[in-house]
Amino acid sequence: MELTHLIAFNLALLAALLSPGPAMLMAIRTTLASGRRAGILFGIGLGATAAGWTAAALLGLNVIFQMFPFAYMTLKVIGAAYLVWLAISTWRHASEPIETRGDVSGGNLVLAGALVNLANPKSVLFASAVLLVIFPPDMALSGKALIVLNQFVVESLAYLAFATLLSTRPARDGFLRLKPGLDRVTAAVLGALGLRLLLDRS
């Protein structure tokens, strides 16, 4: 593995981070609703699970999915159900002020971020495709460990920067004014993504 491989992987990773999806939507909402610290902790959870999916891809979990389609289908149904539940919960609480929902501990924020990315088992298939294109097939275990660590660090730093940009007082005040509508849009998108994941036959 060469440095150019890692650079190419990080560019693909950043492009994926910026694409709209459950992770990005919930990272935006968490940061705007609860501030920089909450956004960073949520991002750490997102990064940990994403790195975990990459580790699974490097260890051949995609092959297991191909050998045992029911395992992939089971994870996909559970993930889709979680996204739909998240959508319903967000919609139900859309009209409530943030302050009435109570403070969330750091551990719960990390777990919440981890669960959002865990809800999409297609991530391991995406990771497999990217890894196959970028990296040589005969990597040592140390090289694979470096890739996983690199992904966690890059994603955590990206969400740290993201949370810092969105945690300004004007951004949060604007969110609080528009919260009911923005929460319902987020809920609708999360629900659509959950149903798409459930109905996708790939």
CB burial readout 112-133, b (16+ within 10 A) else e: bbbbbbbbbbbbbbbbbebbee
- What pLDDT, on the 0 to 100 scale, is given for residue 101? 45
- What pLDDT, on the 0 to 100 scale, is given for residue 32? 82
- What pLDDT, on the 0 to 100 scale, is given for residue 43? 93
Torsion, Cα 47 122 107 85, to 10 degrees, reads 140
Q: Which two tokens stand for residue 82?
A: 């979680």
> d(Cα 155, Cα 66) in Å, to the nearest integer?
28
> d(Cα 141, Cα 135) in Å, to the nearest integer?
13
Q: Which two tokens stand for residue 139?
A: 């990597």
- What pLDDT, on the 0 to 100 scale, is given for residue 100? 39
Alpha helices, DSSP H, located in the chain: 3-18, 22-34, 36-58, 61-67, 69-92, 106-118, 122-134, 141-166, 169-199
> d(Cα 44, Cα 31) in Å, to the nearest integer?
13
Say how many domains are in the chain: 1
Whether the Cβ atoms of residue 34 and residue 154 lie closer than 8 Å to each other: no
In the three-class reduction of DSSP (H, G, I as helix; E, B as strand; rest coil), residue 88 is classed as: helix
Task: State the CB neighbour count (10 A cutoff) for residue 78.
Answer: 13
Q: How high is the mean pLDDT in each 10-residue block of the chain (202 residues)?
A: 84 78 82 87 92 85 71 77 82 69 66 85 70 78 90 92 85 76 82 79 61
- What pLDDT, on the 0 to 100 scale, is given for residue 61? 66
- What pLDDT, on the 0 to 100 scale, is given for residue 18? 74
Domain that holds residue 10: 3-199
